[in-house]
C-alpha cells in the first residue's frame, strides 16, 4: 500500500486527482486554413489525470529536489533557475526545465506512486469535427468544449472509488472556470451511473490552481510531456522512464480496430510500434 493511501472500501477514503493538458487546440488560422502541425502548433491534444496517493509527500519531495538543484553551483546562471523568472525556481515544468533538471525529476517521479490516465485527440479528427459543426450546426467548436468533454471522459470511471474526491484542475487562462468544471464533474458522475447503474454521488471538491500551488500538477505535467514526446516526436525514452505509472491511455481517434479508439493499458502496453503515427 502506498504512503497515505487507505485500502479500498475503508471508511474515510479520500482520493486526490490532478488534471492538466498537453498540446494546444489551435486548428485554423485567421483565414480558416488548417495549420495543424505548423511550427508551434501541435498535432495532438491530450488531457491527463494523475491520482497522487500522498500529495503532502509529493510536495515535500519535489520541494526538496528543487531546493537541492537551486543550491547546486552547476545551475548558477541558468535563466529558468533564477527566482525572478517564475519557472523552475518556482515549480517544475517539463517544457521549461533544462535537460539536467528533467532527468532528476524523472528519477524521483516513480517513487511518488502516481497513477495516470490520459485521453488523446488527434487534431486531424478535430478539424473534421469542427468543419462538421460549422456546416451542419452553424457554430464553432470551442477549446473549452473539447477540454471539458475529455475531462468528463477521464473522470467518469474514477469518482466512485473513494468516499470523497478532491480534484485540482490546472488553471486555463485567466479564469478558474469553476462553474464549467462543476458541470464537467456532474456529467462524469451521470455518465458513470447511466453506464453501470451504480450511483456515483460521492462528495467531490473541485478547484483550479497553478502548478506552484499544487505539486500534483507538476507530476501530471511531466507524465503528459513524456507521452506527448512519444506521440509528437516519436521519442519513447522519457515515456519508458515513467511507463509503470500510465494505467490507461485512450487514443480515441485511432479507429483502425475499434470504433471507440485504441486503449492502452497494462494488458495492452503502449509502444511506438503500436501507436498510429500522427498526421499534419
SS (H, E, C) 24-62: CCCCECCCCCECCCCCCCCCEEEEEEEECCCHHHHHHHH
Tell me how many domains the chain contains: 1
**Could you give the CA distance from residue 218 to residue 2 in angstroms, rounded to a whole number?**
19
Count of other CB atoms within 10 angstroms of residue 16: 23
CATH number of the domain where residue 247 is located = 3.30.420.10
Handedness of CA 214, 142, 225, 241 (dihedral sign): positive
pLDDT bracket for residue 118 (50, 70, 90): very high
3-state secondary structure (DSSP) of residue 175? strand
Residue 8: inside a domain? no
**Could you give the CA distance from residue 63 to residue 144 in angstroms, rounded to a whole number?**
32
pLDDT bracket for residue 11 (50, 70, 90): low
pLDDT bracket for residue 200 (50, 70, 90): low
pLDDT of 202 strictly over 80: no
Residue 278: inside a domain? no
pLDDT of 9 strictly over 60: no
State the alpha helices, DSSP H only, in 197-242: 215-233, 237-241
Residue 279: inside a domain? no
Cα torsion for 97, 103, 105, 106, to the nearest 10°? 130
Residue 7: inside a domain? no
Mean pLDDT of 193-219: 84
pLDDT at position 56 is 98
Query: pTM for the complete prediction?
Result: 0.90
Determine what percent of the chain is predicted with pLDDT higher than 70.
Answer: 91
pLDDT at position 5 is 39
Cell numbers describing residue 268: 495492452
Print the domain residue range for 131.
14-264
Kind and range of the H or E run holding 22: strand 14-23
Residue 159: inside a domain? yes
pLDDT at position 1 is 34
Residue closest to 75 by CA, chosen among 104, 95, 108 = 104
Amino acid at each position: 500500500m502506498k504512503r497515505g493511501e487507505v485500502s479500498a472500501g475503508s471508511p474515510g477514503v479520500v482520493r486526490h486527482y490532478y488534471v492538466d493538458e498537453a498540446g494546444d487546440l489551435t486548428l485554423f488560422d485567421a483565414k480558416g486554413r488548417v495549420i495543424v502541425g505548423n511550427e508551434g502548433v501541435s498535432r495532438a491534444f491530450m488531457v491527463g489525470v494523475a491520482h497522487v496517493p500522498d500529495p503532502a509527500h509529493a510536495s515535500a519531495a519535489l520541494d526538496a529536489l528543487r531546493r537541492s538543484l537551486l543550491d547546486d553551483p552547476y545551475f548558477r546562471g541558468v535563466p529558468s533557475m533564477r527566482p525572478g523568472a517564475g519557472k523552475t525556481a518556482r515549480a517544475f515544468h517539463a517544457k521549461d526545465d533544462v535537460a539536467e533538471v528533467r532527468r532528476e525529476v524523472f528519477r524521483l517521479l516513480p517513487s511518488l506512486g502516481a497513477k495516470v490516465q490520459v485521453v488523446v485527440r488527434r487534431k486531424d479528427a478535430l478539424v473534421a469535427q469542427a468543419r462538421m459543426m460549422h456546416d451542419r450546426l452553424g457554430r464553432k467548436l470551442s477549446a473549452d468544449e473539447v477540454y471539458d468533454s475529455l475531462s468528463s471522459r477521464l473522470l467518469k470511471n474514477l469518482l466512485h472509488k473513494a468516499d470523497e474526491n478532491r480534484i485540482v484542475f490546472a488553471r486555463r487562462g485567466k479564469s478558474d472556470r469553476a462553474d464549467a468544471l462543476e458541470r464537467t464533474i456532474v456529467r462524469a458522475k451521470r455518465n458513470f451511473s447511466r453506464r453501470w447503474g451504480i450511483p456515483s454521488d460521492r462528495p467531490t471538491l473541485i478547484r483550479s490552481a497553478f502548478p506552484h500551488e499544487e505539486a500534483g500538477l507538476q507530476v501530471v505535467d511531466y507524465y503528459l510531456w513524456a507521452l506527448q514526446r512519444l506521440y509528437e516526436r516519436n521519442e519513447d525514452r522519457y515515456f519508458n522512464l515513467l511507463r509503470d505509472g500510465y494505467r490507461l491511455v485512450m487514443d480515441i481517434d485511432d479507429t483502425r480496430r475499434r470504433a471507440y479508439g485504441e486503449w492502452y493499458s497494462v494488458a495492452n502496453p503502449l509502444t511506438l510500434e503500436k501507436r498510429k503515427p500522427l498526421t499534419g
